[in-house]
Amino acid sequence: MDFNLYMPVRVISGEGCVLKNKSLFGELGRRCLIITGKQAASRSGALDDVREALDSQKIDFTVFSEISANPLLSQCQAAAAAADICNSDFIIGIGGGSVLDAAKAAAWLATNTGSSGERLMQGRLRHPPLPLILIGTTAGTGSEVSAVAVITMDKSGRKKSVVHPNCYADIAFADPRYTHSVPRATTVSTALDAFAHTVEGWFSPGCGDVIASFGEKALPMIMDGLEWLAENEGLPAPELRERLYYGSLWAGMVLNATGTAFPHPLGYILTEDYDVPHGMACAVFMPEFLKRAERFLPEPTRALYRLCGGQERVTRVLNSLVKYDVHMTEELINGYMPRWEGVKNFARSPGGFTPKEAAELFRELFV
């Protein structure tokens, strides 16, 4: 019955939660930098709500909208420099997981002027970050509630993650309305990402009773959305959007406590080199992951399938939604193997997982 839990983010949820709690912005300072991508923050309505909240508190702000999908370290450094130039007291990140992760990195870099990106990714920056508010616009990553930031290195093009208490937000505003404008392809991929977070965490050695309760909340909510997307064209109704979004937050709490297993580092390769969206890339490996779970952890697997509405439902949904066009050579696969040495995600997988098994799985799927 023992467990450890550290989740210091203040989560404020519900429709209109930004404007209903606008006084909280004023508690963090008089100047801020808003970090966004090109369109999502504006299209969702979140940016307008934040502008109104800041104006009401007489807070000066500057918008930095140069964050791309799979954010580059250089973009995070540029955002940090903008925060420094504007003498920002705090940072607000509005967007999907890429923007939220970039905002975490920028908030920490901003107080450590001149520090290298390497020290950031090692979690070794000396000074604590600027206060940080995160506002999600997709139902997938759970970055609002986690201490993880995944950043792409400019030189190598490879994703790296930093996990540190200084990557937690001070406040997360969770308004499901902001996900209503997300297009179908992104809705599918982010929902698959939330599913992967929950499933991979469910079988982690770190998943005790408390964390499992988060998974028990997340799985039915996410599966309802995934099944609808598998059986229908178009976009979910607001009620289902809400279930997907809150499910992604519960999934983020699982991820925060347990970390991920082998689908995530393998999925990074499909995103980096083959442009497969992150959630979809992780889901490519989910059938094999579940097969291993059935073999090595049968009772937790049966419990997971019960929560998801049955094994047949899970199989049908994944077969319908997971799509990819990836082809590799033996030489390419052999070149990936050094990346998998000592990967912690492999040790968190059912029965353990090795670079050799990863290469065999790549051959089976992509050669």
Tell me the mean pLDDT in the region 61-85.
97
Q: If you average pLDDT over every residue of the chain, what do you get?
A: 96
What percentage of the chain carries pLDDT values higher than 90?
96
pLDDT digits (tens, 9 = 90+) for 231-269: 999 999 999 999 999 999 999 999 999 999 999 999 999
- pLDDT at res. 48: 98
pLDDT over 70 (residue 189): yes
Q: Is the pLDDT of residue 76 over 60?
A: yes
CA-CA distance, 222 to 89, in Å (whole number)?
36
Taking only Cα atoms into account, the Rg of the chain, rounded to an integer number of angstroms, comes to 20
CATH numbers and ranges of domains, the chain: 10-179 (3.40.50.1970), 184-366 (1.20.1090.10)
Determine the pLDDT at residue 5.
Answer: 79
Arithmetic mean of pLDDT, 171-188: 98
pLDDT at residue 115, as a whole number: 81
pLDDT at 105 over 90: yes
Which pLDDT value is given to residue 2?
63
Residues paired with residue 31 on neighbouring β-strands, in sequence order: 60
pLDDT (mean) for 180-186? 97
For residue range 5-23, what is the model confidence (pLDDT) as tens digits?
A: 788 999 999 999 999 999 9
Q: What is the pLDDT of residue 130?
A: 98
Please determine, for residue 171, whether its predicted confidence score (pLDDT) is greater than 70: yes
Is the pLDDT assigned to residue 1 strictly greater than 70? no
Torsion-angle region of 79 (φ positive above 0: left; ψ -120 to 50: alpha; else: beta): alpha
What pLDDT does residue 221 have? 98
Could you tell me the pLDDT band of residue 351, with boundaries at 50, 70 and 90? very high
User: Looking at residues 88-108, what average pLDDT do you find?
Assistant: 98
Confirm if 163 and 268 have CB atoms less than 8 A apart.
Answer: no
* 59 has a pLDDT exceeding 80: yes
Q: What was the pLDDT predicted at 116?
A: 83
